[in-house]
Amino acid sequence: MAGVTLDVIDLKVVEAVARHGSMNKAAVELNTVQSNVSSRIRALEDQLGVPLFQRSAKGVQLTPAGRRLLPYAARLSRLLSDASAAARDDGKPSGLMEIGTLETTLALRLPLLIARFAKAYPDVRPLVRTGTTSSLIRDVIDCKLEGAFAAGPVTHPELQTETVFHEELVLVTSPAVRTVDAISGILHLKTVVFRAGCSYRQRLDSFLASQGLLAQEPLEFGSIEAIIACVSAGVGVTLLPRGVVVNARQSGLICVHEIPAAFSHVETVFVRRIDGHLSSALATFLESVHRESGIRSTAVREIA
Q: What is the 3-state secondary structure (H, E, C) of the chain?
A: CCCCCCCHHHHHHHHHHHHHCCHHHHHHHCCCCHHHHHHHHHHHHHHHCCCCEEEECCEEEECHHHHHHHHHHHHHHHHHHHHHHHHHCCCCCCEEEEEEECHHHHHHCHHHHHHHHHHHCCCEEEEEEECCHHHHHHHHHCCCCCEEEEECCCCCCCEEEEEEEEEEEEEEECCCCCCCHHHHHCCCCCEEECCCCCHHHHHHHHHHHHCCCCCCCCEECCCHHHHHHHHHCCCCEEEEEHHHHHHHHHCCCCEEECCCHHHHEEEEEEEEECCCCCCHHHHHHHHHHHHHHCCCCCCCCCCC
pTM: 0.76
Cα 170 from Cα 264, distance rounded (Å): 6
Confidence class for position 299, pLDDT limits 50, 70, 90: low
* Whether residue 236 has pLDDT greater than 90: yes
Phi/psi of residue 261, each to 5°?
Answer: -55, -30
Q: How many CB atoms lie within 10 A of CB 220?
A: 15
Same domain, 60 and 94: no
Nearest partner of 136 among 128, 145, 123, judged by Cα: 145
CATH of the domain at 127: 3.40.190.10
Residue 132 lies in a domain: yes
User: Among 25-29, 201-205, 234-238, 274-278, whose mean pLDDT is lowest?
Assistant: 274-278
The pLDDT value given to residue 198: 84
Same domain, 215 and 241: yes
Same domain, 227 and 274: no
Confidence class for position 290, pLDDT limits 50, 70, 90: very high
The pLDDT value given to residue 65: 92
Residue 158 lies in a domain: yes
Same domain, 255 and 183: yes
Number of domains within the chain: 3
Confidence class for position 83, pLDDT limits 50, 70, 90: confident
Same domain, 154 and 171: no
Residue 91 lies in a domain: yes
* Whether residue 1 has pLDDT greater than 50: no
Burial 144-174 (b: 16+ CB within 10 A, else e): bbbbbbbbbebeeeebbbbbbbebebbbbbb
Same domain, 206 and 178: yes
Mean pLDDT of the chain: 89
Residue 135 lies in a domain: yes
Same domain, 159 and 272: yes
Cα 35 from Cα 32, distance rounded (Å): 9
Residue 280 lies in a domain: yes
* Whether residue 169 has pLDDT greater than 80: yes
* Whether residue 72 has pLDDT greater than 90: no
List beta partners, residue 286: none
Residue 80 lies in a domain: no
Same domain, 61 and 126: no
Q: What is the mean pLDDT of residues 114-134?
A: 95
The pLDDT value given to residue 3: 56
Residue 221 lies in a domain: yes
Same domain, 97 and 120: yes
pLDDT digits (tens, 9 = 90+) for 137-151: 999 988 889 999 999
For residue 70, the one-letter residue type is L
* Whether residue 41 has pLDDT greater than 90: yes
- Extract long-range pairs of 105-110: CB within 8 Å, 24+ residues apart: 105/149, 105/165, 105/268, 106/130, 107/224, 107/244, 108/167, 108/241, 108/243, 108/244, 109/149, 109/165, 109/268, 109/292, 110/149
Cα 169 from Cα 200, distance rounded (Å): 8
Q: How many CB atoms lie within 10 A of CB 251?
A: 9
Residue 301 lies in a domain: no
Same domain, 90 and 142: yes
pLDDT digits (tens, 9 = 90+) for 204-232: 999 999 999 888 889 999 899 999 999 99
* Whether residue 267 has pLDDT greater than 90: yes
Same domain, 110 and 241: no
Confidence class for position 300, pLDDT limits 50, 70, 90: very low
Give the domain range for residue 104: 86-165+267-293
pLDDT digits (tens, 9 = 90+) for 5-23: 677 888 889 989 998 999 9
Same domain, 248 and 210: yes
